[in-house]
Structure 1
């Protein structure tokens, strides 16, 4: 696993890492499936006023050389977490606030377990440790739902993107829908399917009690991908180290559709003593 760091500073460039602002504290923004670092475009100017902001593309992004994506290597969250750690090490970041959206929430957990000294606070936005329903646990999807998603992605990726994007956005925001549809549609279909299976079939519930870094879970009131109950499930498993903030909005992408509200919550969480 540590071989990824043998690239020296290469990973920083390969994943299109960018830094904004001149704050003394570093905040890292990590996007989710189907998007890239531009999903943070509305939040970066606000956060750069307070922090040094680090953004990058995950390895499956269409902005990254597709030869860097190894479906076997990235069949779990471990190498995604290792990429994150490598970037922080290569940038000489000793301590950071981490904001992970969707699958990147779990990437942050994995990285924080391995290198807790790198993180002073984890912000988990629309994240979930398990998407499949089980007895006593509502993850939001039945196995038949996921099988249908995987089948549609394989048979007609463009058609699936066009139907999935507005449902994930969930509000009548033409700009946000177009942005997500465009970024998701730019993924290579075979890479998109591989990543989707890794995400939707994962079960990281046993990881949660191992996290020792203080965390804030931020979730939309209604999200077809992650039920609100998942936020409170994670809080219970994280114990007293976590708190939950429910946004009075809908959809899986509040950083695109409700960024003034999200900015306000982030400011209260990170920039004050609340």
Structure 2
């Protein structure tokens, strides 16, 4: 049997984790979907032709996904931050990769599957209740090729990877500390980008956000400088690399705790 990964060993570990935390996960899911239902219900306008516009549905979806998902992800490896719990978790008869994979599966694919299915169930129910003669009801087209709202899931996966790393890197208050670290990193990146733009383009520039164009005035004329659209194809790859780096960092940190 491979010491790195075994399906039977992984299955037992996954089942053990589910048995220990399943009730709490179900309770948390109910709370989140209840809050989503309240959000959607409070946005229903019975006098309008479209009682619940798609934009309001998207807002509820993103709010629930971001808050509940990132908060949940920041707790996935929380047991390894507490010394008493960490000892028991590290002594389990499974490889580091299997332990990591259980947490990763719950943090991303399992959470997304449960949240998306639950959201659509709640959303469809609210729309059904709000529907009436002459009313227009449209369900949020998450997987539509036209609207491309599924990019929200990709963006969430990138953010989630950072909170997965934070859940194992920080010993307590993982959500708050990871969010604060991300905020500081974003501010530092924006400041560095602005300083570089001022040095290369014009000293009088205001704040210049990363991956955006530059507007400046010279000789009474306004100019806009940006990269051609076909040069921006590397940006998604940068976020993909960041996501993979965070996943690798979380695994390395877990491996470090077992040494």
TM-score (norm. length: structure 1): 0.29
Structure with more relative contact order (C-alpha pairs < 8 Å, separation 6 or more): 2
TM-score (norm. length: structure 2): 0.30
Which one has the bigger strand percentage?
Answer: 1
